Chain A
Amino acid sequence: MSDLPLLSLVIWLPIIIGFGVLAISASGNDNAVRWSSLVGSIIVFLISIPLYTSFDTTTAEMQFVELVSWIPAFGVNYHLGVDGISMPLILLTTFTTVLVVIAAWEVIQTKVAQYMAAFLIMEGMMNGVFASLDAVLFYVFWEALLIPMFLVIGMFGGPRRVYATIKFFLYTFFGSVFLLIALIYLYFKTGDFSILGFHDVKIGLDAQILIFLAFLIAFAVKIPMWPVHTWLPDAHVEAPTGGSVILAAIMLKLGAYGFVRFMMPITPDASFELDWLIITLSLIAVVYIALVALAQDDMKKLVAYSSISHMGFVTLGFFTVYSIYEQTGSVSGAALGVEGALVQMISHGFISGAMFLCIGVLYDRMHSRSIADYGGVVNTMPIFATFMVLFAMANAGLPGTSGFVGEFMVVLSAYQANFWYAFLAATTLILGAAYTLWMVKRVVFGEIKNQNVAELKDINKREGFVLGTLAFFVLLLGIWPAPLVEVMSATVEHLLQQAVTSKL
């Protein structure tokens, strides 16, 4: 098994299947398209499992490495590998894609093949981003990824989809340009495009700060961080359910992944100088965006803002290390924050995916995302309501669900950096519960509000399966997060060493 190029398979197989699905659609048989997409995505998921089961948790070295020369003249290689940070994200991607395919089953009736193909191709590209150890390869996947997402929103989106897609595209493209400049600069420094090579090269402080800012712009847009976040609510609102799920569950993680793969190891001194910037932006995300979420009357916008707020924990968790190191001269207490942030990334993948699927279930029935159109859904959809309340609680960070683990760890770590960081971060306990449960109150509970709600039918087996699977993981990760954290710890330790080792 380990002889197979697993990483290449999880990248290229879904892309090939995606194009295959387009070919099948020529026959006009939508069911064949659905089944082949499903089988394909399941196979990819199964292939990705050995990445976890045969993962060596004792080392921070890259594993499952594949290295082939690609463009020797510029030192570009086809170089793949995963560590404890990227491997769980690949599993999250392959897992989520299966659910997205199932969730689209009856919902997407036109252009089925295009829809399925877009998600399968996206899956391969996202895996490519996580597995790339060559900057050019990384950049190619990073940019190419925009195309299928652009198409998904543009073809299957709501009425303002054109505005949303262009905004989404320009925003992220704007950021990516800076990423490219930074990567080219690093190429001239090292002579090739190896990301691991970038980690070791010495760079002066001024150059580091410029590179840091370039990276920050690129990744902050993707995460997104305040104030470059306004594309996300629009994109979510217009995207079809599957698009929102992938966007929230995985695409946002790409930016956060960039923080730990590029910023912290390549520009440690600049990170040390500018950590206040990241922490300020993170805390603004946690508090400001949570308040904004409270003001939303569109369910998808609300969850979109909630996503931004939760991603604030991720960036906060990453950057507490610098304050801790500055005060104590050691990184003790920082691993808690970084691991918490990484757990938060995975957990947020499940929870935000589930929240968007829940909204999708309602949208499919009522064609409205407006909170005001609902009320008393529990009367007609009790099983759905149970899931919705569970995921809402997870979103509010209830212990026993995955939503708690990351927030808890990040708050504990932030306290060691500064009381007020933890103080502001912990307001999410109140604000997160307020916007989530207030929505639940208005949508799920109460008397049946109108005729449309009275006619709602509870979720079917397919929807139950999708939500049930997510519920299982949300609870499992909440009750027993150790297996996930264990995978990360060696890598995180290494990362923290890189983060505090000066490169001047």
Chain B
Amino acid sequence: MEKVYLSIVLAPLIGSIIAGVFGKQVGRAGAHWATIIGVAISCFLSAIVFNQIVINDGETFNGAVYTWLVSDGIRFEVGFLIDELTASMMMVVTFVSLMVHIYTIGYMKDDPGYQRFFCYISLFTFSMLMLVMANNFMQLFFGWEAVGLVSYLLIGFWYKKETAIYANLKAFLVNRVGDFGFLLGIAAVLMYFNSVDYADVFAAAPDMANLTVQIIPGLDWNVMTVICILLFIGAMGKSAQVPLHVWLPDSMEGPTPISALIHAATMVTAGIFMVARMSPMYELSTTALSVVLVIGAITALFMGFLGLVQNDIKRVVAYSTLSQLGYMTVALGASAYAAGVFHLMTHAFFKALLFLAAGSVIIAMHHEQDIRKMGGLKKYMPITYWCMLIGSLALIGTPGFSGFFSKDAIIMAVGESETPGATFAYLCVLLGVFVTALYSFRMFFLVFHGKERMDHHTKEHLHESPGVVTLPLVLLAIPSVFVGAIAVGPWLFGDYFGNAIYVAEQNDVLARIGEGYTGVMGFILHGFVTPVFWLAAGGVFAAWYLYMKRPDLPGKIKAQFGGIHRMLDNAYGADDFNDKVFAAGSRKAGSFLWKFGDVKGIDGFIVNGTAFGVGKVASMIRHLQTGYLYHYAFSMIIGLLLLVAGILIYA
């Protein structure tokens, strides 16, 4: 099987190299075929692995491919751990990636960087697979940073756009703040476990549960808490949790296919995957779980609010992604890892669908992204319309759609959870449901219904997107509807994950919920009687009322609550704060240290000062050497007199 795993990883890499290095030789078609075939092979083989590991309950694979290095008796290896969690992630990643590859043919068809784009997205697929298939922390970190690199390259894909190259630098640096914590977390793991191999670390973790360390002298901290929080800082960067969320909205500067693939379906979920993978460690620290829970809850609700005031179609979806990532994080914090990963999977499908549908709208609108200039698109783009509707219904958790199962499970799990902060989190995720429905259908109505607000020229050319664009939409719409119903039983309440996810008995909220689980239909019917459903319905109704029935109202509300609107419009001022404090602050600190430390202090005072001082002394001494014989004779006589006088006195 090892060869199969290797092929899954290498096929997209080879495709990427062909498209990137030999892009000119193979041409545009060659580039897209090379990469699509590569990813298709990956996807097909992932399906085989999925079948073997998950459906036929095969043995977990854990083995090294090669030894990266050995130092101090510690082996750093590149290897794979293939269990139920990995196999599911591989399936999601390769399938969404394949869809995005096909979609790209249509979306990027006029772009001069066509081959480069395919090179990057295939490279991304490779990196993401390395991340999810890793069997050790070192490789995880490799994948972690490699997806960050590709994200950087793709956000700045249109490198002439100032906003794009600002956004990609910002994305990379904010992610690096997360990686800073992550790296320290790995260092801590190595220190206490003397290994970076998952299996070794997880096996030894329970013995470390009560170990404490004093990082700040005098304060005893639990080692597991320290490790888990450090690692979670990494997840906060990659999965855009408050306060490291600021890069994700800006990342929408990149082409839409990658917003779907990287910034919605896969890369941003790496943090969720990582925490789920580390469940044997997180389960040992209630403090860490509580931190995860609260951060997730804040992200879920407060990022959702921001979606309400966005006018760029992609930014609406981006804030929705932030909010949904918050939901997943909340699930992790409530020890409902399976629910978090379940939402990750359903979200990957419906959010990729929403992004690609938004992209389809953008193509039709000639790259206009302002929803205030759209409207009534339903009749021009029926396939996109229905796909967008399915995506939105799945997102808001309409009973029966895939998102319903995962989101309801999360909300119930939080309700059951006893982790500190769970009550706050429960309120956040409940209220979040209303907000999600409101902003989703605000966008939906503004884009597809109501008055046609685009200009005349655009309207003339409006038409449905070509087959390479709509086919992936349809293919993603199918799982967006059905995958939840199919998977909910085994994933949440069955033994789907086997030993891949560990939950301590007292934290096992899903098991408690599962006691009342009677099957898919029962779950759906139950869904109609919960407050969740009514909140979602209320959100849709509010959107309809505000943007269809009484379109004059939003303006009035905006005028009435100008302060709140401004706050939301500025995204709580997080960007300004970061720019002024961190970016400008470190630049100023740098200038200051340079000017006063290096230039004036060391160079000016010590180095050149010494040189100057030597010169000064020399020029003073030079005056003694006048060249006149009588000066020398005079000083000799004086010297002699002093000498003789000295001898006489002391003798």
Contacts and interface: CB of A to CB of B under 8 A. Distances in A.
Given A400-B146, A430-B176, A292 B69 contact: no
A295 B591 contact: yes
B594 interface: yes
Interface in A445-504: 445-447, 480-482, 485-486, 489
B95 to A, nearest CB: 25
Interface in B542-573: none
Contact of A489 (B66, B71, B179): B71
Interface stretch (B98-106, B155-163, B332-340): B155-163
Interface stretch (B181-189, B347-355, B415-423): B181-189
Interface stretch (A73-81, A108-116, A131-139, A333-341): A333-341
B206 to A, nearest CB: 22
Interface string B564-607: 00000000000000000000001101110111011000110011
Contacts of A293: 590
Interface in A414-464: 414-416, 419-420, 422-423, 426-427, 429-431, 433-434, 437-438, 441, 444-447
B612 interface: no
A291 B69 contact: no
A88 interface: no
A481 B173 CA distance: 26
Contact of B71 (A170, A409, A416): A409
A433 B590 contact: no
Given A288-B593, A482-B69, A433 B160 contact: no
Contacts of B589: 291
Contacts of B591: 295
Most buried by A among B71, B594, B607: B71
Interface string B38-81: 00000000000000000000000000001111111110000000
A264 B50 CA distance: 54
B191 A335 contact: no
A207 B141 CA distance: 46
Contacts of A427: 180
Interface string B126-155: 000000000000100110111001001100
Contact of B594 (A296, A334, A434, A445): A296
Contact of B142 (A171, A399, A412): A399
A450 to B, nearest CB: 15
B586 A379 contact: no
Contact of A167 (B186, B215, B607): B607
Contacts of B462: none
B67 to A, nearest CB: 6
B146 A399 contact: yes
A294 interface: yes
A205 to B, nearest CB: 28
A430 B186 contact: no
A243 B603 CA distance: 22
B184 A426 contact: yes
A481 B160 contact: no
Contacts of A288: 593, 597
Interface in B72-93: 72-74
Given A415-B184, A419-B215, A482-B70, A434 B173 contact: yes
A426 B594 contact: no
Nearest to A293: B590
A26 B142 CA distance: 54
A433 B176 contact: yes
A190 interface: no
A288 B596 CA distance: 12
Contact of B183 (A336, A389, A426, A486): A426
Contacts of B173: 430, 433-434, 437
A431 B586 CA distance: 9
Nearest to A438: B169
A445 B163 CA distance: 11
B205 interface: no
Contacts of B412: none
Contacts, number: 143
Contact of B590 (A295, A408, A430, A486): A295
Contacts of B145: 398-400, 404
A332 interface: yes
B233 to A, nearest CB: 11
A419 B69 CA distance: 24
A411 interface: yes
Nearest to B67: A482
Contacts of A431: 586
A339 B72 CA distance: 9
A481 B160 CA distance: 36
A250 interface: no
Contacts of B166: 441
Interface in A135-185: 167, 170-171
A480 B66 contact: yes
B172 A437 contact: yes
Contact of B156 (A294, A430, A445): A445
Contacts of A332: 72-73
B165 A416 contact: no
A444 B160 CA distance: 10
Contacts of B524: none
A398 B190 contact: no
A480 B184 contact: no
A89 interface: no
Given A295-B587, A445-B165, A446-B160, A408 B183 contact: yes
Given A294-B587, A412-B186, A426-B183, A393 B149 contact: yes
Contacts of A419: 184, 213, 215
A409 B162 CA distance: 36
B67 A429 contact: no
Interface in B175-207: 176-177, 179-180, 183-184, 186-188, 190-191
A430 B177 contact: yes
Contact of A295 (B72, B160, B172, B594): B594
A185 B165 CA distance: 58
A441 B165 CA distance: 7
Nearest to B588: A295
Contacts of B191: 333, 412, 415-416
Contacts of B70: 482, 485-486, 489
A434 B160 contact: no
Interface string A267-300: 0000000000000000000001001111110000
B184 A292 contact: no
A405 interface: yes
A444 B168 CA distance: 13
B169 A292 contact: no
A111 B544 CA distance: 80
A296 B67 CA distance: 40
B71 A336 contact: yes
Interface in A181-234: 227, 230
Contact of A230 (B68, B153, B184, B598): B598
Given A230-B598, A336-B74, A485 B69 contact: yes
B180 A429 contact: yes
Contacts of B165: 441, 445-446
Contacts of A423: 184
A460 to B, nearest CB: 17
8 contacts: A230-B603, A292-B594, A295-B593, A332-B73, A441-B165, A445-B156, A446-B159, A489-B71
Given A340-B71, A398-B149, 18 more contacts: A294-B586, A295-B594, A296-B594, A332-B72, A339-B72, A378-B159, A399-B145, A409-B71, A411-B184, A429-B176, A429-B183, A430-B180, A437-B169, A437-B172, A446-B160, A485-B71, A489-B70, A489-B71
Interface of B: 66-74, 138, 141-142, 144-146, 149, 152-153, 156, 159-160, 162, 165-166, 169, 172-173, 176-177, 179-180, 183-184, 186-188, 190-191, 213, 215, 586-587, 589-591, 593-595, 597-598, 602-603, 606-607, 611
7 nearest A-B residue pairs (beta carbon)? A415-B187, A295-B590, A294-B590, A291-B590, A399-B142, A335-B72, A295-B591
